[in-house]
Amino acid sequence: MDLQLTGKVAVITGGSKGIGLGIARAFAREGAHVVITARTEAAVTRAAQAIADEFGVTAVPVASDVSTAEGCQAIIDAAAGIGGADIFVSNAGTGSNETVAEAPDDKWMDFWNLHVMAAVRLSRGLADQMEAKGGGAMLMNASICAVQPLWYEPIYNTTKAALLMFGKCLSTEMIKRGIRVNTVNPGLIRTPDWENTARELKGDDWQSYLQEVADEHADIKRFGTTEELADFCVFLCSPRASYSVGSAYHVDGGMLKTV
């Protein structure tokens, strides 16, 4: 299937590893140019060069902290520098571990800025570029935890739920400007962060630990790959999904236990 993405410009935050890198590679495979961002300059530069070398597209690295207004503006400027964004995937984020009783205010605000305000600022800034090009698509990468929380990460659960609601509110506003907005809620996706956590907890038996997690939570009894999730995300941002507006899609191997 031709996803009609050749020559488009896709901006992906958190694009140097894991889900973000998988999404960036999937866009590049379809002929789209990419702007990828991360806080570590060496990592994001290395990832962008590898994408450009493999797929023959323009891949622009931006080392910036999306939890700040200045970091977001650097990304907006980088996208403008290669003709303006057609697609924006708000992906940057990380898990948490705390109790409500003990978590300090600063931790709440750090996650709010990373998961929510980054999406707000970048959506606002990139929308003008998309509208000038005749429209586009935005995708919020939230989490199954936005609707089915895990007890040990209340801050992550809450901020991802806010991102889910933001995506819905944004979609109503942006469709009037020719920009489609949707949200994806991944379940267990095998990323370097999951693998590192498993190694810290179980040492050499880390793969057995991941299987135990999958057996407990996912009906499919395995983790999803970044490629599986990326393929879905890229389709959703393509003109082939032109009637998908303001929806939330669970890509979770049966993890969600409600209708």
**pLDDT tens sequence across 14-65:** 999 999 999 999 999 999 999 999 999 999 999 999 999 999 999 999 999 9
pLDDT reported for residue 217: 97
pLDDT reported for residue 238: 98
Question: Considering the domain 9-188+225-251 in this protein, what is its CATH number?
Answer: 3.40.50.720
pLDDT reported for residue 253: 98
Express each pLDDT in 116-164 by its tens digit.
999 999 999 999 999 999 999 999 999 999 999 999 999 999 999 999 9
Domain boundaries of the chain, sorted by first residue: 9-188+225-251, 190-223
Q: Is 156 a catalytic residue?
A: yes
Express each pLDDT in 161-215 by its tens digit.
999 999 999 999 999 999 999 999 999 999 999 999 999 999 999 999 999 999 9
pLDDT reported for residue 162: 98
pLDDT reported for residue 221: 98
* Beta-carbon contacts of residue 216 (< 8 Å; ≥ 6 apart): none
* Beta-carbon contacts of residue 176 (< 8 Å; ≥ 6 apart): none
Q: Which of 156, 209, 243, 249 is catalytic?
A: 156
CA–CA gap between residue 25 and residue 153 (Å, rounded): 30
pLDDT reported for residue 173: 98
Find the mean pLDDT for residues 73-93: 98
